[in-house]
Amino acid sequence: MRAGLRVTDICRRLTVQRARGLRLQSSATGSVLWNELRNRKLRGIKFRRQQPLGPYIVDFYAPQLRLAVEVDGPHHEQSKEKDLQRQHFLEQQGVRFLRIPAVDIDTNLKACVERIAAALCDPR
């Protein structure tokens, strides 16, 4: 490590490395949704996948609208409190959240995409 790196720089680099790793390990459900959001397919809005925001990483993020889309799969059942803390912190930074259960994506992808599209139009 270079001399003079601040703790915040080190934390940022670690978060970015973790986000890159998560992109490689994407769940099938996350990949299905990503195919609907990538390349500005949804209303011309750019989404990023596994986007670092401060010390956290969100599943999908539309920077232009400061909208985070989180896919809540079975692993989120054990981390509800941490998820809420993360959401609260990022909402304090001006990020809007939309949570979508993974089972909804698996059973009705079209409705989930429509829900995201509606959130894109909501300026809250």
User: 7-121 in CATH: which number?
Assistant: 3.40.960.10
pLDDT exceeds 70 at position 4: no
The pTM of this model reads 0.80
Tell me the helix, strand and coil percentages in the chain, rounded to 5. Answer: 55, 20, 25
For residue 80, give the amino acid letter.
Answer: K
> d(Cα 111, Cα 1) in Å, to the nearest integer?
47
Residue 118: the pLDDT is 95
**Per-residue model confidence as pLDDT tens digits over 7-30:** 677 676 766 566 555 555 677 888
> d(Cα 47, Cα 38) in Å, to the nearest integer?
6
